Chain A
Amino acid sequence: MLAVRWAEMEALALHNVVALDGTFPVLAGASLEAPQGSLVAVLGGNGAGKTSLLRTLAGLTTIVEGSGQVLGFDLSTKASGLVGNVCLLGHGTGLYEELSPQANLKYLATIGRLNRSGVASALDRVGLTGRMATTPLQQLSAGQRRRAALASLILRSPALWLMDEPHASLDAGGRALVDALIAEAIWRGSTVVLTSHDPNEASAAADLVVELVGGATSGARSGGGGIHHVS
């Protein structure tokens, strides 16, 4: 349960957080501090609590002990303030399989009060153009569906990006795209938290590396910060 003081102005601040998802305990003492515009890599084995940490940062779990602030909002009392400011890219796309990437993004733009003109450029940015943009998601490959999910993040352009193993299901081009999108987000001042099974790659790119064991942070250290050099 080690917390690292990364900077004076934290976008993320968890202190010994114990959290429940429903009635199921998912975090057992997680601590983390990271400033705005940083990349945080969360490492840990299966079941260590990586996804739960992301869900907690999104305000989707119930904190029963400890304290947490994200983007200035208290997770125990003001988590609703995160709406519109946080995106969570999990193992699923978060999109409707029966609709095309274009229709999904137009729907998200409407409910998120976003400009619909950003839909085409977001799809273009991830390489989903032409028929791929109008084909139902269920007929696309896993990698293309992942790209559609990335396009939804670009469209929403939140202040906090939470990405659960964002490189999964992607080819080399897709992985490079993810790195470029993360670099762009950080350049714009967003904070990015991602989980990874690859400690070397994550450590080299991230500003801060957090390790989880059994739902608790077992260590935190500075990373290489290599993401700032991705063009």
Chain B
Amino acid sequence: MFRDAWAVFVKDLRIEAASRVGLWQVLPFAAIALLLFAFALGPSHRVLASGAAGVTWVGVVFATFLIVGRSQSIEAGAGIAESQRLAGVDPAGVFLGKAGAVAVQLLAVEGLLGVGARLLLDFHCARWWLVVVASLLATIGLSAAGTLYGALVGATRARETLLPMLVLPVLVPVLIAVVRLWQASGVAEGQGLAGWLSILGTFAVIYTAAGILFYGQVQEHS
């Protein structure tokens, strides 16, 4: 499984590096979304700072749809699905590899939006470790759920619209938890961090396990 996962991970990132869809489409989209939200919130520093975490993570969630859609579309080439199946690639490995590649791209988006939030929205952070841990857990959850649902709608004609409709409600707990933790990172001490972190951790574990167990069946029946 891990050998296949590594092969798929490297292959997906090589394809992204070659096509530069992430560099020229996803990152600019995320940056523009952040700018638009900043304009919509107005010039008040207090409002901007209080909305920074939410604005950043809504941007990350939007970028997730683009990245997952792209990740699935590269498997839609003529004959590729049959070729993979007959080659005997482990579906769990495919899931882990694709989710891993999505996670790497999401981390790049989060880095860009994080810098943007600091510079444009006065996002203040006193506990960096909390931002890093919350972001990593949220990234694992987003990439795992996105990859699983992406495969589910991958073969449908309306996958671009179906994916957000399916995944957005599912991602609400992740969005709330990671935004709360980012906001909590701005103060030296805070209550209830463990609860939010456990939500992110549980979500990541559940969707990673579901992907490992069911990705093959989802691919076969979609």
Could you tell me how many residues of chain B have their Cβ less than 8 Å away from some Cβ of chain A?
23
Please provide the chain B residues from 78 to 117 with a CB less than 8 Å away from any CB of chain A in the complex.
Answer: 78-80, 82-89, 93
Interface 1/0 per residue, B1-13 and A, CB below 8 Å: 0011001100100
| Most chain A CB neighbours (cut-off 10 Å) among B8, B11, B87, B89 | B87
* B18 adjacent to A93 (CB under 8 Å): no
Could you tell me how many residues of chain A have their Cβ less than 8 Å away from some Cβ of chain B?
31
* B11 adjacent to A99 (CB under 8 Å): yes
The contact of A96 among B15, B82, B85, by CB within 8 Å, is: B15
With known contacts A84-B87, A98-B74, A136-B18, A107–B7 Cβ distance under 8 A: yes
B46 proximal to A (CB < 8 A): no
| Assembled-state Cα–Cα distance A152/B83 (Å) | 10
With known contacts A58-B82, A88-B82, A107-B11, A97–B77 Cβ distance under 8 A: yes
With known contacts A90-B78, A95-B80, A60–B85 Cβ distance under 8 A: yes
The contact of B88 among A93, A112, A152, by CB within 8 Å, is: A112
| Assembled-state Cα–Cα distance A110/B80 (Å) | 16
Interface 1/0 per residue, B43-84 and A, CB below 8 Å: 000000000000000000000000000000010011110111
* B79 adjacent to A94 (CB under 8 Å): yes
* A94 adjacent to B80 (CB under 8 Å): yes
SS class of chain A's interface: helix, strand, loop or mixed? Answer: loop
Please provide the chain A residues from 132 to 162 with a CB less than 8 Å away from any CB of chain B in the complex.
Answer: 136, 149, 152, 156
CB-nearest residue of chain B relative to A149? B79
A8 to chain B, nearest CB (A): 27
With known contacts A83-B87, A84-B87, A111-B87, A60–B4 Cβ distance under 8 A: no
* B86 adjacent to A87 (CB under 8 Å): yes
B156 proximal to A (CB < 8 A): no
Q: Which residues of A contact B (CB under 8 A)?
A: 55, 58, 60, 82-84, 86-99, 103, 107-108, 110-113, 136, 149, 152, 156
Q: What are some 12 contacts across the A-B interface (CB < 8 A)? A: A58-B86, A83-B85, A88-B82, A94-B82, A95-B83, A96-B11, A96-B80, A99-B11, A112-B88, A112-B89, A113-B88, A149-B79
14 more A-B residue pairs beyond the given contacts A87-B86, A90-B82, A95-B77, with a C-beta to C-beta distance below 8 A: A60-B82, A83-B86, A91-B78, A91-B79, A93-B78, A94-B77, A94-B82, A94-B83, A107-B11, A110-B4, A110-B7, A111-B7, A111-B89, A136-B18
